Structure 1
Amino acid sequence: MKYKLGDFVRFVDEKMEGFITRIIDEDMIGVTGEDDFEIPVLAAKVTLVHGYKPAGSETTAAVAEPQLLQGEFKNKGVYLGVLTDAKANSVVHFNLINDTSFQLLATLATEKQTFKGEYAGIVAPGSATKIYSAQLADLQLWPKFLINILYYTTQNFAVPAPLSITEKFKAKDFAGSKKNLPVLNQPGWLIQLDEPDFVIDVQQLKESFFKPAEEKVTVEKPNREVDLHIEKLRDDYQFLSSAEIQKIQLAHFNKALDSAIVHQLHDVVFIHGAGNGILRHEIHKALSKHPKVQTFMDALKEKFGYGATRVVLK
């Protein structure tokens, strides 16, 4: 297969073009156009459009290792930076970021039933290179990553031990907010590969057994209107399944309801949206059994339609 996820292609027999968002098999690919509709097509029926480079595909040009002053030498800073493609949001690109003063000799292999080499090369100090691309919808099917990194420098500094990392990524690995990625200066998910091994401080562990009881937890007063739309609760919602989204929304609903009861609010509005009605049904079922709920009803139809519930507390 000569094509990769995120490549921009044009149909040979039709006046259409788009981005490759799925590799179906050796002969078939999925192409998504401006209408965000993915079309399966034979790889032989499209041609690569040169000149377009998706987000994450830029490789910082390798340069000669800079002659740094001793105080400037950076020993730490090897990362995986995960970027969504600017044109095909269903595709993410994994970038190996070298924010150290070493040259890195790096390889990436993936493992399902067998091993497959994905990348091998040299990453210069202060540079980054794309090493893998994947389809977000297939996150649960992503292979295991096997990353090996050797350090090299001509300067008089101790060389760290080689890194050997085996990782099977899951949705929870991208649960945090996006950060500005070093070197690339773009928002994405950052995973540090050269973190020091965790060492248990025996003295701290011993002291933890004799700590006084924690002070009473302060419960934050909720707003009168609580928005339960998942994009308001999590930055990584595109990685979550429907079941995970509903679980997060219900947990936030229960926390906000408890907080409203603690602060003795008269009423509170939960904005759950209309959607397929499942979240609304689960919320109403919980409210109907709650001992501190006096009544509940659809809230301000002219403002929310059937997408919000007003709860009156005892």
Structure 2
Amino acid sequence: MKYKLGDFVRFVDEKMEGFVTRIIDEQMIGVTGEDDFEIPVLATKVTLVHGYKSPGTEVTNAGNETEIPQAEFKTKGIYLGVVPDAKANSVVHFNLINDTSFQLLATLTTDKQVFKGEYAGIIAPDASAKVYSAQLADLQLWPRVLVNVLFYTTQNIEAPGPLTFADKFKAKDFSGTKKNLPVINQQGWLIRLDEPEMVIDAQKLKESFFKSAEEKVTITKPSREVDLHIEKLRDDYQFINSAEILNVQLAHFNKSLDAAIVHQLPDVIFIHGAGNGTLRNEIHKALGKHPKVQTFMDAQKEKFGYGATRVVLK
């Protein structure tokens, strides 16, 4: 199979083009066009559009190794940066990021009952390389990923021992907010492969021995309107199933209700949406037996319809 996820291709027999968003088997691929509709097609029926490079898939290279003062030589900072494809949103690209001053000899192999070498190469200091791509919808089917790294420098610096990382990624690995990734300067999820050196602060260690047993807990005052739509609560909502989504929403509801009671708010509105009514029913069930709730009702139907509940507190 000569095509990879994220490749830009043109149909041979039709005036159509799009991005490869699925590798079905050795003969078939899925191509998504401008209408976001994925079409299964024989790999022989499309051709690569040369000259296009998908953002997030470029290999950056710092060139030949230059002499770095020993005090400025970075020995830590190996990451996997997971970046959504700018055009084919259903595809993510794994970039091996070298934020150290070493050259890296790196390999990535996938393990799904059968081992498959996906990448092998040299990554310069302060550089990165695209090492793997995957379809977001197939997250639960992703293989285990094995990364092996050797460190090299011509300078008088002791190189660390070989780095080995192996993991089968799950939705929780992408539960954090996207951040600006080092070196490639794009938004994505960052997975650290090496651990930063532990720096012990003697003063903080000393203070910890004299810390009061009772610590003041600060509870933030909630808004009078609490939006429980999952896209407002988690950036990774597309990775989690409906049961997990409901648990996240109910946890935020309970936390906000407790905060409203602590701050003695007279009432609070929970925006849960209409949907299939599951979240609304769970909220009403909890409110019905809460000792601090005076009453509750549908809130401002002209504004929310049946998608919000107003809670009056005692």
On whether the aligned pair clears a TM of 0.5, the verdict is yes
Give the aligned residue type for 2:43: A
Q: CA deviation at 1:183?
A: 0.9
1:200-252 deviation digits (Å, cap 9, x = unpaired): 9xxx99x9899642324232221100011112111222222222111101110
Aligned equivalent of 1:238: 238
Distance 1:298-1:99 versus aligned 2 partners, 3 A rule: same
Greater mean deviation of Cα atoms: 233-242 or 110-119: 233-242
Name the structure 1 match of 2:227: 227
Residue aligning to 1:35: 35
Structure 2 counterparts to residues 141-290 of structure 1, below 5 A:
141-196=141-196, 212-290=212-290
Deviation per residue, 1:260-304 (Å, 9 max, x gap): 122222211011122333222222222223232222222112222
**Structure 1 counterpart of 2:96:** 96
Helix, strand or coil: the match of 1:284? helix
> Counterpart in 1 of 2:77?
77
Amino acid in structure 2 at the alignment position of 1:157:
I
Whether contact under 8 Å (2:178, 2:188) holds in the other structure is: yes
What's the counterpart of residue 7 of structure 1?
Answer: 7
CA distance in 2, matches of 1:150, 1:180: 26
Write the deviation string for residues 53-92 of structure 1: whole angstroms up to 9, x where unpaired.
Answer: 1122100135111122222221111111111110111111
- Secondary structure of 2:51's counterpart equals coil
3-state SS in 2 of match to 1:71: helix
| Other structure's SS at 1:255 match | helix
CA-to-aligned-CA distance 1:10-32 (integer Å, 9 cap, x gap): 22233322211111111222222
Q: Distance in 1 between matches of 2:221 and 2:72?
A: 47
Indicate the SS of the match to 1:244: helix
Residue 109 of structure 2 corresponds to: 109
Question: 1:149-188: per-residue Cα shift (whole Å, max 9, x none)?
Answer: 0011111111111101111111111111222111101111
In 2, Cα distance between equivalents of 1:219 and 1:126: 42
Change in 2 beyond 3 A, CA 1:70/1:56: same
Amino acid at match of 2:171: A
CA distance in 2, matches of 1:13, 1:219: 63
Letter in 1 for 2:145: F
Task: Give the residue type in structure 2 aligned to 1:259.
Answer: A
Letter in 2 for 1:247: N
Structure 1 residues 289 and 32, CA, compared in 2 at 3 Å: closer, same or farther?
farther
Question: Are the aligned partners of 2:77 and 2:196 in contact in 1 as well (CA < 8 Å)?
Answer: no
Structure 1: state its 5+ residue gaps.
none
Q: Are the structure 2 counterparts of residues 136 and 214 from structure 1 closer, same or farther at C-alpha, using a change threshold of 3 Å? A: farther
Cα pair distance change 1:263/1:61, threshold 3 Å = closer
Shift in Å, 1:35 = 2.0
Residues 108 and 275 of structure 1: CA distance in aligned 2, closer, same or farther (over 3 Å)? same
Tell me what 1:54 maps to. 54
TM score, norm. by length of structure 1: 0.92
Q: Secondary structure at the match of 1:39?
A: strand
TM-score by length of 2: 0.92
Identify the range of structure 1 (44-53 vs 184-193) with the bigger mean alpha-carbon deviation. Answer: 44-53
In structure 1, the residue matched to 2:125 is 125
Whichever residue aligns with residue 136 of structure 1, its letter is L
Task: Give the corresponding residue for 1:302.
Answer: 302
Distance 1:154 1:260, change over 3 A: same
Unaligned runs of 5+ in 2: none
Whole-Å Cα distance in 1 between the matches of residues 155 and 199 of structure 2? Answer: 30
Q: Number of residues paired by the alignment?
A: 312
The secondary structure found in structure 1 opposite 2:309 is strand
